[in-house]
Amino acid sequence: MNFEGELMNLKDTELRLGLPGRDEEQEKRSCSVVKSNKRCRHESSEEEGSSVTEKNNAGDGSDDQDNVPPPAKAQVVGWPPIRSYRKNCVQQQNNKGCQERSDGAEYVKVSMDGAPYLRKIHLRVYNCYPQLLEALQNMFKCTFGEYSEREGYNGSEYAPTYQDKDGDWMLVGDVPWNMFISSCKRLRIMKGSDAKGLGGCL
Amino acid sequence: MRVNQVEVPRDENGSSILDLARADIAESSTKTRNCAACPGSGSGSMEFQSPYPDQVLENVLENVLHFLTARRDRNAASLVCKSWYRAEALTRSELFIGNCYAVSPRRATSRFTRVRSVAIKGKPRFADFDLMPINWGALFSPWVAAMAKAYPWLEKVYLKRMTVTDEDLVLLSESFPCFKELVLVCCDGFGTSGLAAVAGRCRQLRVLDLVESEVDDDDVEWLSYFPESQTHLESLVFDCLQFAVNFDALEKLVARSPSLKKLRLNGSVTTPQLYRLITQAPQLTHLGTGSFGALEAVAAGDQEPDYASAFAACKSLVCLSGFREIFPDYLPAIYPVCTSLTSLNFSYANINAEHLKSVICLCHKLQTLWVLDSICDEGLQAVAATCKDLRELRVFPENPNEDVEGPVSEVGLQAISEGCNKLQSILYFCQRMTNAAVVAMSKNCPDLVVFRLCIIGRYRPDAVTGEPMDEGFGAIVMNCKKLTRLAVSGLLTDRAFSYIGKYGKLVRTLSVAFAGDTDMGLKYVLEGCHNLQKLEIRDSPFGNEALHSGLHHYYNMRFVWMSSCKLTRHACQEVARALPHLVVEVIRSQGERNDDSVEILYMYRSLDGPRSDAPQFVTIMQ
C-alpha cells in the first residue's frame, strides 16, 4: 500500500461535471469567440505512429455519470479489474438518456507530456471550456493558467492543445465551443514552453 | 534403431525451460558426432544413438507424430531422443508462444520449419487495467518479419495482448498467400489502414476477428476493400470498434459471403440495419447484434421491421451477443432463438431482472452466460432455475465504484450454486459476499475449473459474520479438485494462502489483490502450488523473503507479476543472479527515484536472454 500514493499522483482522477451556478464571468471569457486562425506548430514525433499503446486511465470508475457529488474517496488505479473498454461502453449507455444510436468517434484521447498514461474522455459530457479545463486539470494534476487570445495560457507549466480534423494543432479555447467539439480529434497537454510556439504566429 | 531415453527432470507440466534448452543443445551437439558410431553407452544424459539416420523409421515417426496435436504431448515427444526431436519439429504445424519474450522469433522459426498456425501472447493481463505503462513492448513486428521469411504457407495468426502496427498487417497480407485466419484479442497499435490491407490482399481469408482490441479510425473504409467476388469469409467479428463502419459495404459483403457463420457487429450498426443483415444471412450461428437500440426517429405508429421473424428465420443461431444500447422493448424479438441458444452475452446490456427473466426462462440449453449485475440477485435466481446446463457464468458490475450497494450478493451466488451444478467457470463481481455462499458453491459445483470472485470493496470481510474470507476460498481449493484458475478478493489473511498452497495442487493461474498479512502468504503458494504457471499479485504485503522462496519454481512459470508489494530492487537483483535464464524486469511508471523500492516486478523465463526493445522505464536486473 506504500506505493499507492506514488501511483495515484498522475492517475488519480476526480472526473466531475461542472457544478451548476458556476462563475459566469469566467464562463463568458473562455467561451467567447476568438479568431479561428490556426496557430502554427511543428509536430513532435511522439504523436506519430500507430504503435503507441493508449490506455484509458479513467478506470478508477469515479466518472459520475449521474450528476451526484463526487465520491469522497479517490479510486484506485486498475481496480476493480475491469477493462476500461468495458467500463466506457456501459458508461456510454448510461449517459444516453434516450437510447440514441452511437455516433462513433465520441472519445478523444488525451495525453500529457511526461505522463506515461493516456486517457480518454467523452467530450460531449462537458458544456463549455471551463468545465473541460477543470476536468483536465484534475485528471492530470496540473494547472493551465489564464487564457488570453493573444498569449494563450499565460503563467502556467502546461497548456492544453488539440488536434483538429485537418491534423493541425491548436490551443484549446481558440475556437467557439461547438466548433471545438465537432473538430477536436485528440487532446494533448503540452509543456507551456512548447505551446508558446502556438501563440507565436498570429 | 534403438532409442535411448534422455534423462530429464520429472516435470508434471511437460517440459521446463531447461528441457527445451537441453533439447536445443543436444540437437546442435549431436550434429558433430554424426559420423561416430557409439551404440548403447547409455550413461549420462546427453548420449544419443544411431548416428546414421534410419530414414524409413523417421518417415514412419513423422507420420505418426502428425496425429499428436496437444502441445504438451508434442513437447514430451520431442525429448525422447534426437530423432524424435527432429521429427516432432518437422511435424509441428501449430506453434504456441505463451510469452512472446520467452523465445526469439529466430529461434522459434529455426526449430519449427513447417508451421501453419501461430499463436502468440504478449503483455501480462494486469496491463488491461492500466497497471503497465504504455509502450512496454510485446511488438508483433519482429515476429511477422521472421515468419514472412520462414513460413510462406502460414495460414493462421492468433495474437493476444500484442502491439500490432498497420505496417505489420500490410506485411502479413503480402507475405502469406494462403492466409486464412486472423484473430486479434486485446491488441492495439493498428487501425483501419491495416485492416484494409488484410481485407484486400488475403484472398483466402476465412476469419477476421477483432476481440476487445483498440483499433484506430484512420478514416479508411476497410470493409470496402474485400474482393468484389464471393468471399470465403466464415467469421467477421468487429464489435470492439468504437467508430462507425460503412454499412453499405458491410451489407454487400454479407450478401457475397455465403459461408459466413459468425458475425459480430459494433454499436454503430442500428437495429434496422441489423434486420437487413440477418435477413440476408439466416445461416448465421453466432451473432453480435450491434446497438439493438431504438432510434429517436422511430415514433409511435411508424412501421418497424418484423424483428422477431428475422430472428426466427435464423434457425442455426446458437450464440448471441451485442446489445450495446439495448432497448428492452426489442427483447421479444430474440425469443424465437432462445431455445437453441448455448451462449448469451448480455454484459453490455443494462437490463433489469424482469427483462432478463423474460428471456432466460426460454434458454434451457444455455451453457455460457455473461451479464451485468443490473439483473440483480433475482435475475440470477431465474438463471439458476432454468439454465441447468450452465458451464460458464460471468457477472460484471454496472457501477464499478467501491462505496455503492451492489445489486448482486451472496444470495445470487448461492442460487447459482444450487441450480447450476455443472458450472465449470465463474467470474463474479459483487459488493458483498459470505463464506457460506462460497463454501456452498465449492460443494455444489465440483466441476469448477475457474473460480474468480471479485469483491469490489477492498478488504471486505464476510458480510454476515465479519470474518475474513479465508474459509470460503479454502473450501474452493479443497473441494474443487479440478480447479486450475483462481482469483481471490475480500479480506484475506495468510491462512487463505496456506489453504491454497496445501490444496491448490492443480492451480496454474493465481490472481491476488489487496490480500494477505506477511511473507508467509506468498511462501505458502510458491512452496505448495507445484503447477503454478502464472502469478499476478498487486498491493499485497509480500516482500523479499517471499520472493526468494520461489527460486526453485520460477523456471517452470510463464511469468510472475508483483506490483505495489514490499520488494526491493536488491532482492530482485538477487533473483536475477540466482536464475540466469530468468528475465527480471523492474518497471517504474514515473520519473527517476533513488530508493530501493520496486513498483512493478515482472519476470519470466527466456531462452534468449533480456530483450533488446525494453523502454527506458524498464530496468532488467542482472
Residue-wise pLDDT for B580-593, tens only, equals 999 999 998 665 66
Q: A73 and B189 in contact by Cβ < 8 A?
A: no
Query: How far does B71 lie from chain A, in Å, by closest CA?
Result: 30
Cell 489473511 identifies what position? B493
Nearest to A78 among B129, B188, B348 (CB): B129
**pLDDT-derived band at B16, boundaries 50, 70, 90:** low
Contact of B365 with B389, CB cutoff 8 Å: yes
Q: A73 and B402 in contact by Cβ < 8 A?
A: yes
Which cell numbers hold the place of B220? 479508411
Which cell numbers hold the place of B393? 457464468
**Is pLDDT larger for residue B104 or for residue A97?**
B104
Q: Are strands B319-321 and B343-345 parallel, antiparallel or unpaired?
A: parallel
Quick one: how far is CA B229 from the chain centroid? 35
Interface of B with A in 25-84 (CB under 8 A): none
For A11, the closest chain B residue by CA position comes to: B130
Q: Which of helix, strand or coil describes residue B346?
A: coil
Residues with Cβ within 8 Å of A69's Cβ and at least 6 positions away in sequence, in order, are: none
Query: How far does B40 lie from chain A, in Å, by closest CA?
Result: 55
**pLDDT-derived band at B441, boundaries 50, 70, 90:** very high
Query: How far does B87 lie from chain A, in Å, by closest CA?
Result: 38
Buried b / exposed e over B492-523, threshold 16 CB at 10 Å, is bbbbbbbbbbebbbbbbbbbbbbbbbbbbbbb
Question: How far is the CA of B551 from the CAs of B95, B546, B618, in angstroms?
Answer: 28, 10, 22
Using an 8 Å CB-CB cutoff, list chain B residues near A80: 397, 400, 402, 429, 454, 456
Nearest to A50 among B216, B296, B398 (CB): B216
Quick one: how far is CA B329 from the chain centroid? 34
Q: B130 and A84 in contact by Cβ < 8 A?
A: yes
Cell 444510436 identifies what position? A101
For A111, the closest chain B residue by CA position comes to: B134
What pLDDT is recorded for position A149?
75
Closest CA to B330 of B365, B278, B295: B295
Nearest to A117 among B134, B186, B539 (CB): B134
For B215, the closest chain A residue by CA position comes to: A50
CA B446 to CA B424: how far, in whole Å?
Answer: 8
Predicted TM-score (pTM) of the model is 0.76
Out of B43-47, B117-121, B277-281, which region has the weakest mean confidence (pLDDT)?
A: B43-47
pLDDT tens digit at each of 202 positions of chain A? 444 444 444 444 555 554 544 444 443 443 333 333 344 333 333 333 333 333 333 333 333 344 444 444 556 889 999 987 787 776 666 655 332 333 444 568 788 887 766 677 778 778 888 888 888 888 777 888 878 777 778 777 888 999 888 888 889 988 888 888 888 888 888 887 777 656 433 3
Which helix (H) or strand (E) segment is B450 a member of? strand B450-455
Query: How far does B111 lie from chain A, in Å, by closest CA?
Result: 29
Asked if the bond preceding B446 is cis, omega within 30° of 0, the reply is no
Using an 8 Å CB-CB cutoff, list chain A residues near B404: none
CA A38 to CA A171: how far, in whole Å?
Answer: 9
Q: What is the pLDDT of residues B196-220, one digit of tens each?
A: 999 999 999 999 999 999 999 988 9
Interface of B with A in 580-599 (CB under 8 A): 589-590, 597, 599
CA A133 to CA A148: how far, in whole Å?
Answer: 14
Using an 8 Å CB-CB cutoff, list chain B residues near A100: 293, 295-296, 325
Which cell numbers hold the place of B523? 511462501
Using an 8 Å CB-CB cutoff, list chain B residues near A10: 589-590
Q: A4 and B216 in contact by Cβ < 8 A?
A: no
Nearest to A61 among B347, B400, B617 (CB): B400
